[in-house]
Structure formats: structure tokens, C-alpha cells
Chain A
Amino acid sequence: MTDRPIRVLIAKPGLDGHDRGAKVVARALRDAGMEVIYTGIRQTPEMIAEAALQEDVDVVGLSILSGAHMDLFPRIVAQLKQKNVDDVLLVCGGIIPEDDLPTLKQMGFAGVFGPGTSTQDLAQFIRDQIGARAGA
């Protein structure tokens, strides 16, 4: 049980400007009762980690369609670690090849959500994960 709405940061790292997916997710999580800090496009790893730190979020959700995830995601994870933000749930979505999934899981991404994901499933996944952590 959490005693506050789940707080989620939704950000798009790097240079791709296609933010429809990120907005759909932000809106869906809002409708699922979560507080979504939406920082939008062209976020550097430093900006994302700083926002996660200051906003004290439970979840960081990254959307990327540029193909640069294997370059940017490790830098984001490193930035989060450096700022001692070590307890957030990491999820990502966008265009992410299956071959990269094992590496991403290893990096700490609990969920990878590609095109066609149901937003209800995503919200439920987040609730379950956060609930499990709070219970632990």
C-alpha cells in the first residue's frame, strides 16, 4: 500500500521529437490515478536524473524512438546512481529491438513496453511493482 498517488516521471531522452506515445502514456497514467511529471522531449540524462531526484518520483518512464537507447539509457542509469536515486522503478517504451531486452533488464529496467501495449496493462504493471516494493 502506498499512502500517496504514485508519482511518475515521463521523459524523452535524446533528440527524437516524436512525443505522441509519451503523451498517450502520460494521459493514461493520469487517468489511472497517478501524478505524472511530464518533461517532454530533448531531455539529457542529467536533466532526467535531476527531475527524478527533485520530484522524488516512484517511477521513471522513458520513451524513445530514435534507436539511441543503448547509448542513452546507461547514461541515465549512471546519472540516477550518482544522485543516489537508487529506488525508482525504471520502465521504457518506444522502438526497442528484442535483442536489447536482456541488456536492458540487466541495466535495471523492470518493464519494456513496445507499440501495441495496452495502457491498462502498463498502469497495472506499475501498481503491482510499486505495491510489491512497498510490501517488501
Chain B
Amino acid sequence: MDIDALRAGQPRAVARAISGVERGGASARAIIAAIFRFTGRAHLIGITGAPGTGKSTLVNEIAKQYRRRGKRVGIVAVDPTSPFSGGAILGDRLRMQDLSGDPGVFIRSMATRGNLGGLASTTADAVKILDAAGFEIVLIETVGAGQNEVDIAKNAHTTIVVQAPGLGDDIQAIKAGILEIADLLIVNKADHDEVSATVAALEMNLNLKPMQENDWRPPVLKTIALKGEGVADAVDWIGKHRAYLEDNHLLAQRERARVRAELEMVVQRELVTRLLGGVNGSKVEMLVEKIAARELDVYTAAERLVQEKL
């Protein structure tokens, strides 16, 4: 890998490096080992929300705003892999065509490749590459997320949860999960009906949370991403959130939390790979048969496999 070309942001080098980390294994580890010293400079911004709320269109507009403000922007957009075929349709780029031809923007589509939680298991590594390549802003768009895909909060400094009008009432708004991870709440498609009801439900939920003096209260913002309306204000708010994190020494704290989560994940992945790597396929099949025939319960079967490997 050509580190100098990568650090200079040359698209071919960046693209190849991302493919490298997606492949995993020893070469992926070598790439990360070579670049990690050059990471930690970008502001990582997560964008999540239900399918069809306008995440990709919003990412397009946010990127345009940052370009006007002189920042180079890297984008990682994740879409789901089919659980049946292993294939995927990666369609986020389609909404970001305004950005094409701009050498200050790099867009990469990723498939989840079986990972749950809203991101691919290698998304954090792809983000590191964009960071090392000098993109000051990295926008990470999750798969269309429902209630529980909250991994983005561990991977970003600022998390934006995008909602659209008419998708749920005030009970949905007080449920645990995705709304809790928001640093900014954006109600997109604000030219549709029921906007004020959606905003009111989100505000009410925020009002129910006891606040300490220095707590960040997520703003509830309205945008019409297709027309670019409200996006400049949203980008100002991202800046305010960044300043809040810095002023309260939370950036370092978040960074440590992020690194800890990543370390645990990598250890888990490695352990699972090494443990399962040598498991006898026919043994697994035999156990599956026994469990399906109700001769053995799943915990006992799992215990046998683990014992055998340890």
C-alpha cells in the first residue's frame, strides 16, 4: 500500500485501502497498523434513522454545506447485505450525485456483510482510512435503522438521528433505543403533514429527561433535504456539539469509550474466528440434527462444542 498516496487523499489509494480492510485478515491488519498514527483528526458524524427518512439526501446536503465551508468530506454509506444470497444493492450514492466531480469528496458504499447493529464490521476501519487520507469531516450513514441499531453512537463523535413525520406517536418517542443516542434530532421532510406533531413528541420526550447543568440537550431541527432547507442550521448545530464536547473534555472521553468498544469487538471477533475456525463441520451438522429432533437442547450442544475447542 502506498501510504504517501493515501495520505495525499489520492482516490485510487484510498479506494484500494478500503477494499483491503473490507477483506479482513492479515493484510487488513497491516493497513491499519500503517495508518493508525495518522488518524484521530477527523470529526466523525453518524447519520441514522429509519429507511426512507431521507438520510442519504441529507448526507448529500450536509456534505455540500461543509464543502462551502472549505472542509474535505469523506462519506461511508452502509446498506444491508441479503441474508439469503450474500449480495446487496448499494443505492445511497444515487442520492449524492450533486457531489460528483468534486475532488474534495470521497464516497464509499459498504454492505453490512452479515453484521448487525446498522454498520458493517469494517466500517470503523474504512472511516480510519478516510481520516488518515485527510478528510476533515467523515459522514457515516447507517443502514435504515429501526429501534435498536445503535452501534453508530460508538463510532461517531456526533450522532444525528433522522426522523420523518408520521412514523409514530409519543409512545414511540419515549421508547428506549435509537432516540437515546441522538446528539441532534432532525425531522426531515418538514414540508409534509404532521411535522409539528413529530417535533412535539420528540421535544416532550427530551423534556422528560432530568438534565444536569452541563448536559447536552439535543436540538430538534427541521429540514427539507431535497431543497436543502434547514441544513445550514443543522451543520451549525454539529459545530456547536463539537464545541460542547471539547469544552467539557468529553471528546477524549468519547474517544476512549469508542476505542474500548472497538477493542472488545476485535477481541471477540478474533476469539470467535479462532475458536470456530477448527470446528468440525460434520460435528456441527450432527448437533443441529439432534437439536432439531429435540434430543439435545441448544445450550448443552453449544457447551459441548466450546468444551471441545477449549
On whether the beta carbons of B101 and A50 are closer than 8 Å, the reply is yes
**A34 adjacent to B87 (CB under 8 Å):** yes
Q: With a CB–CB cut-off of 8 A, which chain B residues contact A122?
A: none
Nearest-Cβ distance from residue A58 to partner chain B, whole angstroms: 10
A29 and B87 alpha carbons, distance in the complex (Å): 7
Please tell me which stretch of A35-43, A65-73, A93-101 contacts chain B, meaning at least 4 of its Cβ atoms lie within 8 angstroms of it. A35-43
Candidate in B16, B97, B108 with the most chain A CB atoms within 10 angstroms: B97
Indicate if the CB atoms of A36 and B93 lie closer than 8 Å: no
Tell yes or no: B135 within 8 A of A by CB: no
Mark contacts of A21-49 with chain B using CB atoms, 8 A cut-off: 1 yes-contact digit, 0 otherwise.
00000110111111111111000101100
Q: Are A4 and B87 in contact (CB under 8 A)?
A: no
CB–CB A33/B87 < 8 A: yes
The closest CB in chain B to the CB of A52 belongs to: B15
Complex contact A40–B82 (CB within 8 A): no
Contact of B180 with A by CB under 8 A: no
A83 to B101, CA, bound (A): 12
* B91, B100, B101, B108: residue with the most chain A Cβ atoms closer than 10 Å: B100
Residues of chain B lying within 8 A (CB to CB) of residue A121: none
The reply on A128 being an interface residue by CB < 8 A is no
A53 and B93 contacting across the interface, CB-CB below 8 Å: no
Nearest-neighbour CB distance to chain A for B229, whole angstroms, equals 24
Question: Could you tell me if B19 and A56 are in contact, using CB atoms closer than 8 angstroms?
Answer: yes
- Counted as pairs of residues, one from A and one from B, with CB atoms less than 8 Å apart, the total is 84
Say yes or no for B90: interface residue by CB 8 A criterion: yes
Chain B neighbourhood of A26, CB < 8 A = 89
A51 within 8 Å of B (CB atoms): yes
Residue B140 is within 8 A (CB to CB) of chain A in the complex: no
Partner of B88, one of A35, A53, A54: A35
Q: Which of B18, B25, B86, B106 has the most CB of A within 10 A?
A: B86
Contact of B100 among A4, A27, A32, A46 (CB under 8 A): A46
Which residues 104-160 of B have a CB within 8 angstroms of A? 106-109, 111, 113
Closest to B27 in A: A3
Q: Is the interface of B mostly helix, strand, loop or mixed?
A: mixed
What residues of A have a CB within 8 angstroms of the CB of B11 in the complex?
A: 50, 53-54, 83
List the B side residues contacting A117 at CB < 8 Å. none
B12 CB–A CB distance under 8 Å: yes
> Which residues of chain B are within 8 angstroms of A85 by Cβ–Cβ distance?
12
Residues 69-89 of chain A, each 1 if its beta carbon lies under 8 Å from chain B, else 0: 000000000000001110000
Are A84 and B12 closer than 8 Å at their CB atoms? yes
The smallest C-beta distance from A29 to any residue of chain B, in angstroms, reads 7
B192 at the interface (CB under 8 A from A): no
**Closest Cβ–Cβ distance, residue A22 to chain B (whole Å):** 11
Whose C-beta in chain B lies nearest to the C-beta of A31? B85
Q: Which residues of A contact B82 (CB under 8 A)?
A: 30-31
In the bound complex, how far is the Cα of B310 from the Cα of A120, in angstroms? 44
Q: Per-residue 0/1 for A50-64: is the Cβ within 8 Å of any B Cβ (1 yes, 0 no)?
A: 110111100000000
Those of B49-88 within 8 Å (CB) of chain A = 81-82, 84-88
Q: Which residue of A lies closest to B17 (CB)?
A: A56
> Is A108 among interface residues, defined by CB-CB distance under 8 A?
no
Contact A36 B89 (CB under 8 A): yes
Instruction: Tell yes or no: B22 within 8 A of A by CB.
Output: yes
Residue from the set A33, A47, A56 with the largest chain B CB neighbour count within 10 Å: A56
A-binding residues in B (CB < 8 A): 11-12, 14-16, 18-19, 22-23, 25, 81-82, 84-91, 93-94, 97, 100-101, 106-109, 111, 113
8 A-B pairs (CB sep. < 8 Å):
A4-B19, A4-B22, A4-B23, A37-B93, A38-B93, A53-B11, A54-B108, A83-B11
